[in-house]
Amino acid sequence: MSTQIEKAEAFQSLHNEGTFIMPNFWDPGSALLLQRLGFAALASTSAGFAQTLGRIDGRVSLEEKLAHCAQVAGVTTVPISADFENGFADEPRQAAQNILRVAETGVVGASIEDFSGSGIYDHSLAVERIAACAEAVATLDFPFTLTARCENLIRGVQDLDDATARLVAYEAAGADVLYAPGLASNEQIQALLDAVTKPINVLFVFMPDKPLSEYIELGVRRISLGGALANYAIGATLGAVDQMLATGDFSWALDAAPAKIINQLLG
């Protein structure tokens, strides 16, 4: 797989063929590792990427995001979807122009969320933003997958009805995939599935004990990991540091991946 059109078509097909896991990379090396371990599509994580720059989520510029996407798309051969935050703009037309810019980096999909960085957008403005982005990507010469992301459930608004109503409206506005991070039960997932016809993405971290088989049975098409893998790597580092500083114990290194394996995956 080499061309952007081929990647885009493959990404669309994944959403029609069953349930797939789309892990989130945080830099080119992690993206290449995940590809070579067998994942058919990957996504970026805004939090994980920000951490590589020594920042917290939401503190990355548009230009930095575009460079990151281009770098990863350049070293991988599988479809890439960008965590494009709020499109780096409040105004619908500017968000639409920015999503065309990220499409130029080689990615074949992106998510646009309804959180400005300080609050949830008004319903009508949020819908206008998705409609503008959908109209923009429809002008591309390949099928770009637009994911509309409702942030209510992780931004202090525990209102599933409102989240569902927003995603229904985003679907009508042209979104290809619907995403409400924060879904925390089979009942919540089913309620959303009953309300929309487009594929939904579920972030697993709110139900970490749920096996893949349950998502398949429910009919969830896509499962993403968010910043979980990046945070897992940081967690392992924190544990190793604690062992060294607290007890002088270096045995954590026994659990490290052998350099030979890493070199085989990246070579």
Domain boundaries, the chain: 4-226
At residue 2, the pLDDT reads: 67
Indicate the average pLDDT of the chain: 97
- What's the pLDDT band for 47 if we cut at 50, 70, 90? very high
What is the per-residue pLDDT across 128-138, written as a single tens digit (0 to 9) for each? Answer: 999 999 999 99
What is the model's pTM?
0.96
Selected from 3.20.20.60, 3.90.25.10, 1.10.150.20, 3.40.140.10, the CATH number assigned to the domain covering 4-226 reads 3.20.20.60
What is the per-residue pLDDT across 82-105, written as a single tens digit (0 to 9) for each? Answer: 999 999 999 999 999 999 999 999
What is the per-residue pLDDT across 64-79, written as a single tens digit (0 to 9) for each? Answer: 999 999 999 999 999 9
- At residue 261, φ and ψ (nearest 5 deg) are -65, -45
- What's the pLDDT band for 257 if we cut at 50, 70, 90? very high
